[in-house]
Structure 1
Amino acid sequence: MKKTNSNPSMARSMGNKLSALAGAAALSVFAVGAMTADTLAAEVTLRLHQFLPAQAAVPKHVLIPWMEKIQKESGGRIEIQHFPAMQLGGKPPELYDQAVDGVADIIWTLPGYTPGRFPLTEVFELPFTMTNSEAVSRAFWELAEETMMDQDFKDTKVLGLWVHGPGVIHSKEPIKSVADLNGVKLRAPTRVTNAFFKNLGATPVGMPIPAVPEALSKGVIDATVIPWEVTGALKTSELVHNHTEFGDESLYTATFVMTMNKDRYNALPDDLKAIIDANTGLEFSAMAGKLTQDEDAPPRKMAVDLGNNNIELTPEQVAEWKGAADKTIKDWVAEMDEKGLDGTGLLARATELIEKHSK
């Protein structure tokens, strides 16, 4: 006669343990299988490097959705890893060379961070040239295809070119007239904007945008010029309480480039290149420009809600500033003409394209 287990509770306990072990083993196999499947699915891994925190407007509303779209449309065959706030090392002015050298596969930066290196892009940064960021971004891409891809950007595969919304002066003391800028230590983003504000009597202080909050809090600068959309991430409205706007005019804008290492792009299979191509270029640039300006509204409201002094200049006041801008524009055109870059023709063509897309 077969002997039965005299301890039913022990049997149940052993059974539960065996079931748990079997379940854990199954989960482990599933996890390894899933991980292997994901690894196999990602044929290409690209690293995107840029200078702002991930929660800032452009990364949040332009770069991250773009990465997700590429990954989805490639069926996971392209994986894009995001490295915000210079996490791969270096400083913002080094980003373009990181794309050239392959330190990063894709970068987003301001050409103006390396003064004089991308002279043709500066035409869109001249004061009071911009209408709205979508129209100017379209003009930027079209002019780049005509004049810049084989000159300024010849060493990389350009994915997108756009500009931000109207530049605003954020200052410790109210600024209404050009005379109010006299002696003000002011951070501006590019060579052109630094020359402009120097001509207006300010003392320009160059620095990448991530350095602005500390510079304001320590008194290194008295003011900065940036669009509203970036002020939320930088907490500018908490550091200074005066914001000067120029009505329907735009004091200035700055240009952006999103670009890719040429070898990495050329090594992609044709079908993956096609996915990249379908999500870059003119329409992507226009969309990025529009989304960037759309994001001006929430941080502006934040400044209003804080009770800050939002100074909206009248057309008569703006006219004074526009008159004072003439020297910067003429100097830039003459400089480009001297270098054989046809500043006269470049400004005329940029103006023509902006007008076309602003209608």
Structure 2
Amino acid sequence: MKPLRVLISSLLAAAALAGGAHAQTTTLKYSNWLPPGQAMRVEVIEPWIAEVEKVTQGRVKIETLPKVVGTVGAQFDVARDDQADLVVFVPSYTANRFEILEVLQLPFMSDNPERFAPIADRFYRQRLASYGEFKGVFPLSLFVVSPGQLFTVKRPVHTVADFKGLKIRSPQPSAAQALTLLGATPVSKPVSEVYELLSSGVLDGTLMPAESMPSFKLTDLVSSGAIIPGALYNTVLVMGINEDKWKSLRQDDRDAIMKISGETFARSVGRAYAKGDLAAYESMRKSGKPVEPLPAAVVNEMKTALRPIESEWIERAKKKGVAEPQKLIDSLRSELVKQ
């Protein structure tokens, strides 16, 4: 009987050890740079953090660090270099690095973030991921936010000629190129620096999603806004995790996390921004600051002026190994117009 008791005790001990390993918790460190009250943070990221713990039965938890690690523009490197596990990064904050991805940011793709955001995630995974531009960081969700609209401090913009001579903040290369072609001077800066540049008079205005104007305390600094139907540009953001850290998680936990990430996460972001845009426009108008769409004739003139952006991206994409860049553009546009 003694050997049997020893065997049973050994099995119970092994089961206890296995149970302890099964219940082991992985805590992911999240480097956050979004301000309190910002729509994506409040309505999408914070609920998603709670949901990650729930769907993994507590095996994966996310800790939001008290301050951003590094700079906003360096968040991709922060995740890749394992300075933090989880980040939201803006690929276009690093010029000439994620050039193939810029197809999603070309002028006049879409001004509907609720529709475009999930399409962006799907299009990336189906058509762009194979080019390996995010090596070292796994994109849990890739999405666009609201397209940047033009907000100016003193002089309103009603025509293409009104762009001439203005110093305007640009968040990414295609927007900077668009501003140059329209006669303005682009100043490429992350959103975290815009308040100081506007308040000090360094900038005459900024390209910015309307939703973000109040949360970054910019509304009081501007006097008017110009909405560009169809969108002068879109900006891609990515919720990314260090690739090795992602691979270290159990497969069933990764599967569970992806069910609430990807297109699902992206769609929630698009919805939050679309709602935030409407609230921001209403707030500005109530305070006597005009925010109106540019006339169709002006938009058509802008489209003609900005044609070189698309043709130049095609040439750069070819150099990066894309065999038929025009097909990528056509495929994306086709997806965006489907009902």
Q: Is TM more than 0.5 here?
A: yes
User: What amino acid maps onto 1:243 in structure 2?
Assistant: G
**Larger displacement relative to structure 2 (200-209 or 334-343):** 334-343
Residue aligning to 1:101: 81
2:240 aligned counterpart, secondary structure: strand
User: What amino acid maps onto 2:203 in structure 1?
Assistant: I
Does structure 2 retain, via aligned residues, the 8 Å contact 1:165–1:292?
Answer: yes
Aligned with residue 200 of structure 2, among 182, 197, 218: 218
Larger of the two Rg values belongs to structure: 1
Residue aligning to 1:68: 50
Tell me how far apart the structure 2 counterparts of residues 77 and 71 of structure 1 sit (CA, whole Å): 7
Mark the CA change 1:305 to 1:129 in structure 2 (over 3 Å): closer, same or farther: same
User: What amino acid maps onto 2:265 in structure 1?
Assistant: F
Tell me how far apart the structure 1 counterparts of residues 321 and 244 of structure 2 sit (CA, whole Å): 31
RMSD: 1.9
Does structure 1 retain, via aligned residues, the 8 Å contact 2:174–2:233?
Answer: no
Within 5 A, what are the aligned runs for 1:151-190?
Answer: 151-172=132-153, 173-190=155-172
User: What amino acid maps onto 1:228 in structure 2?
Assistant: A
Tell me how far apart the structure 1 counterparts of residues 82 and 165 of structure 2 sit (CA, whole Å): 42
Within 5 A, what are the aligned runs for 1:185-204?
Answer: 185-204=167-186
Instruction: Give, in angstroms, the shift of residue 69 of structure 1.
Output: 1.1
Does structure 1 retain, via aligned residues, the 8 Å contact 2:28–2:85?
Answer: yes
Tell me how far apart the structure 2 counterparts of residues 184 and 42 of structure 1 sit (CA, whole Å): 56
Are 1:49 and 2:31 counterparts?
Answer: yes
Does structure 2 retain, via aligned residues, the 8 Å contact 1:51–1:109?
Answer: no
TM-score, reference length from structure 2 = 0.87
Residue aligning to 1:230: 212
Tell me how far apart the structure 2 counterparts of residues 42 and 208 of structure 1 sit (CA, whole Å): 38
Does structure 2 retain, via aligned residues, the 8 Å contact 1:50–1:109?
Answer: no
Structure 1 segments, 4+ long, off by >4 Å, are none
**Larger displacement relative to structure 2 (73-82 or 208-217):** 73-82
Does structure 2 retain, via aligned residues, the 8 Å contact 1:335–1:343?
Answer: no
Does structure 2 retain, via aligned residues, the 8 Å contact 1:42–1:79?
Answer: no
Residue aligning to 1:323: 304
How many residues are paired up?
A: 315
Instruction: Give, in angstroms, the shift of residue 353 of structure 1.
Output: 1.9
TM-score, reference length from structure 1 = 0.83
Does structure 1 retain, via aligned residues, the 8 Å contact 2:195–2:218?
Answer: yes
Instruction: Give, in angstroms, the shift of residue 41 of structure 1.
Output: 7.0
Within 5 A, what are the aligned runs for 1:18-33?
Answer: none
Does structure 2 retain, via aligned residues, the 8 Å contact 1:50–1:107?
Answer: yes
User: What amino acid maps onto 1:241 in structure 2?
Assistant: S
Residue aligning to 2:281: 300
User: What amino acid maps onto 1:132 in structure 2?
Assistant: N
Within 5 A, what are the aligned runs for 1:123-142?
Answer: 123-142=103-122
Instruction: Give, in angstroms, the shift of residue 136 of structure 1.
Output: 1.8
Instruction: Give, in angstroms, the shift of residue 232 of structure 1.
Output: 0.9
Identity of aligned residues (%): 29
User: What amino acid maps onto 2:212 in structure 1?
Assistant: V
- Write out per-residue CA displacement over residues 97-149 of structure 1, whole angstroms, 9 at most, x where no aligned residue: 11111111111121101111111221121111114113222332222113332
Instruction: Give, in angstroms, the shift of residue 337 of structure 1.
Output: 2.8
Instruction: Give, in angstroms, the shift of residue 54 of structure 1.
Output: 3.0
